[in-house]
Amino acid sequence: QVHLVESGGGLVQAGESLRLSCAASGINFRLYTMKWHRQAPGMQRELVASISSNSSADYADVVKGRFTISRDNVWNRVYLQMSSLKPEDTAVYYCNTRHRGSEFWGRGTQVTVAS
């Protein structure tokens, strides 16, 4: 069974940094594309960043140059390093992958950026 558990969220001031972590189990992690999404209150969930099995990364335009996604295939973790955080980055951040045609999600971790 696929299990994704996010951690690392918290309350920070604008301009500060935060690193999110997602621990994955139940899959051959190194073969999977992993994604970070976020959902702000009253907004739709949006894709923030993705990283392929060969570590090719893509980013939403709103986070390019500020966020970095990475993966550790030994510890089966995917990370999201967030820098120069803005109040509009406030959201619940979710880890996601697709396995055998189904989407799997973690429970999310709250990131709050104070101005």
Other CB atoms within 10 Å distance of the CB of residue 86: 14
Confidence of residue 16 (pLDDT cuts 50, 70, 90): very high
Integer Cα distance of 89 and 86 in angstroms: 5
Q: What is the model's pLDDT at position 53?
A: 97
Give per-residue pLDDT as tens, 68-105: 999 999 999 999 999 999 999 999 999 999 999 999 99
Q: What is the model's pLDDT at position 106?
A: 98
Give per-residue pLDDT as tens, 30-57: 999 999 999 999 999 999 999 999 999 9
Q: What is the model's pLDDT at position 26?
A: 97
Q: Identify the CA nearest to 4 among candidates 38, 31, 42, 35.
A: 35
Q: What is the model's pLDDT at position 97?
A: 98
DSSP per residue, the chain: --EEEEE--EEEETT--EEEEEEEESS-GGGS-EEEEEE-TTS--EEEEEE-TT--EEE-TTTTTTEEEEEETTTTEEEEEE-S--GGG-EEEEEEEEETTEEEE---EEEEEE-
Q: What is the model's pLDDT at position 56?
A: 98
What does the angle CA 106 – CA 1 – CA 7 come to, to the nearest 5 degrees? 25
Give per-residue pLDDT as tens, 74-83: 999 999 999 9
